[in-house]
Every structure is written in structure tokens, then in C-alpha cells.
Amino acid sequence: MKKSLFAGLLLMFAGFTFLVGPVYSADVKIGVIDIQRIMAESKAAQSARAVFLKEVQEKREVLNTKQKEAQDLQEELRKSASEMAASVRKEKSEQLSREVKELNRLKSDLEEELKKKENELTQGLLKEISEVVQEYSKKEKYTIIHNKRMIVASDDAIDITDKIIKMYDIVK
């Protein structure tokens, strides 16, 4: 009984090795990329980020202008409050309160909008980079390409980040 069980297992193992053997003998081509570096160094990604940063700067200038107006009104109230009529002082205080609320709301809306746009930009860049990597992988017949940040250790010889940056800049 033991001999037939052993013979069966041996036969099954030999068959399994015969079926799986060709998989292990296939050429495997592995590459790694540093997506963070691609997003930081590629001209296409830098250009997209520059447009985003310009928009951020414009929106911050609007916010700063509103903030300056509120500060000027507050300063006017502080300096001239004792000289103002009670009704004028009350009106200016209410105006200042409204401007501060509007400023806080504007600041909150701006931060939310910028976070959303930054996420959209990042997702768009990642999608474009992924498409370039897919194209490069097919062209150069890579079996697998990993993100370098997810790998504990790898040989620098399989790092194709520079090639992907060049290809991405050409495509975009």
C-alpha cells in the first residue's frame, strides 16, 4: 500500500514537473521604475505642475487681496473707533465680521478646490505614465515592470526610469 502510494505521488510529481517545466524555462524580463522620480523630473509632468502652480498663485493673490481689505478695515476700526459715531462703528464692525466670514469661506473653498485639482492632476499624470510604461513594456517585451518604491531591493541594472522619462517627454 505504501509503495503504491509513493509510486503514485512520484508519478504525479513527475507529471507536474513536465507540465510546469516550460513555464520556468521561459525568458523573464523584469524592469523597475521610480514613478515619483518620473513625476518630478519629466518635462511633461513639470509643465503640467507649472500650469497648476500658476493657477494656485492666482487664486492665492485673490485671497490675499481680500485678506488685506479685511485687515485695512480692522485697522481703521481700531484707530478710529473712538472718533466714530456709534452707528458708523456698528456698521463697520458688522462689515468686518461679514468680510472675515467670507474670507474664511473663500479660504476653505480654495483649499478644497486646490486639493481636488491636485488629485486630478496626479491621477492624470499617473494614467499617462502608466500608458507609456505599458507601451514600453510591449515594445521591449518586458514580462513585468514594478514600482521601485514597492521593492525592498533590486539591481540598478534593471531600472528603466530614465528610458520611461525620455519616452514620456517625447509622447507628451
Question: What's the pLDDT tens digit per position in 101-114?
Answer: 999 999 999 999 99
Secondary structure class of 94 (helix, strand, coil): helix
Query: Which CATH number does the domain housing residue 159 bear?
Result: 3.30.910.20
Percent of the chain with pLDDT over 70: 85
The distance from CA 43 to its chain's CA centroid, rounded to whole angstroms, is: 16
Q: pLDDT band at 1, cuts 50/70/90?
A: low
CA–CA separation, 98 and 36 (whole Å): 43
Secondary structure class of 112 (helix, strand, coil): helix
Total count of residues recorded for the chain = 172
pLDDT tens figures, 52-70? 999 999 999 999 998 998 8
How many domains are contained in the chain?
1
C-alpha cell, 151: 521593492
What 27-30 contacts at long range (C-beta under 8 Å, 24+ apart), as own/partner pairs, is 27/143, 28/143, 28/144, 29/140, 29/141, 29/142, 29/143, 30/142, 30/143, 30/144, 30/145, 30/146, 30/158
Range of the domain at 7: 2-171
Is the whole-model pTM more than 0.75? no
Q: pLDDT band at 4, cuts 50/70/90?
A: low
Out of 36-40, 89-93, 128-132, 167-171, pick the least confident.
89-93
Residues whose CB falls within 8 Å of the CB of residue 137, separated by 6 or more in sequence, listed in order: 31, 145
